[in-house]
Amino acid sequence: MASQALAASGEEANDSRATQNSGEDAFSMSLLMAELAKHQANMHALIQESIKPLQASVDSLNKNVKAFHTRLASTEVRVGENFEKLIEVDNQIHSLEKYNSALLNKVEDLENRSRRANLRVLNIPEKSEDGKGNIVFLSDLQKDAMGPDIFPSPPELERAHRIGPITGKFTRPFITCFHHYRDKEAVLRWSRQNQMKFGGNVLRVYPDLSAALVKKRAEFKPIKALLYAKGVQFRLLYPAQLKIVHNGESRTISSSEDATVYYKQFIASG
């Protein structure tokens, strides 16, 4: 019985120690969990505090990106509108250029038409007209130089004057305006086939043309030289057209470039 009692007492003691140990373990685990939770809270707070500047930067970046997208979209709209306006302006410019070119051609044509009855006479010595007056002097000069078959009486002139300042090196040309266009044409035709002379000087007679038209006509000089060397008949027509007669065929060409092409294709190799 005594042994049984001792055994029972030992078991109770063991159970008591086990219960005590279990309680201590539970308390230790509770403390550990509490410390872990505290540590997690501290880490979370630290992380949140650390990412606040980064989050602010990200928010600012997002705001800037959104603003940039808004401005970009607005810019794209404006670029599209401006592109359409540029096309419209470009079309207007081309239209104005064509209109301006047409106006310039009309002005040039009117200027040259106003000179249709004019001739330029070169190489008349200075002061030859003294004592007579320009109109009487030139009218008598043309009658005397061309003879009574062309002008039984002096041609009627409306105006006659020299152009340019006196330089002492060159004689100034005369501009003469005929009252009758046919008289001007008669002088021009005669001077192409004959020499008009005065005081031992050979006078040169040209149509009175605008500077722009003179430049256009001068562009035909190289091709005229080539045609002359080939013995091809040609004539420079008003305002600036080259008439070529080759192998019985007549061709009127309006530009020096086209005349050069025609020469290379049909005349140069002949």
Which residues are bridge partners to 250 per DSSP? 245
Whether the Cβ atoms of residue 122 and residue 203 lie closer than 8 Å to each other: yes
Tell me the per-residue pLDDT of 164-184, one tens digit each, with 9 for 90 and over.
988 878 899 999 999 999 999
How many whole angstroms separate alpha carbon 239 and alpha carbon 109? Answer: 9
Tell me the per-residue pLDDT of 253-264, one tens digit each, with 9 for 90 and over.
999 999 999 999
Domain ranges of the chain: 1-111, 118-208, 214-266
Whether the Cβ atoms of residue 241 and residue 224 lie closer than 8 Å to each other: no
CATH class, range 118-208 = alpha beta
Token couple for 65? 């990106």
- Domain made up of 214-266: CATH architecture: 2-Layer Sandwich (3.30)
**Lowest mean per-residue pLDDT among 225-229, 259-263, 265-269:** 265-269
Percentage of the chain surpassing pLDDT 90?
63
Whether the Cβ atoms of residue 207 and residue 119 lie closer than 8 Å to each other: yes
Tell me the per-residue pLDDT of 179-216, one tens digit each, with 9 for 90 and over.
999 999 999 999 999 999 998 999 999 999 999 999 99
Q: What is the pLDDT of residue 112?
A: 95
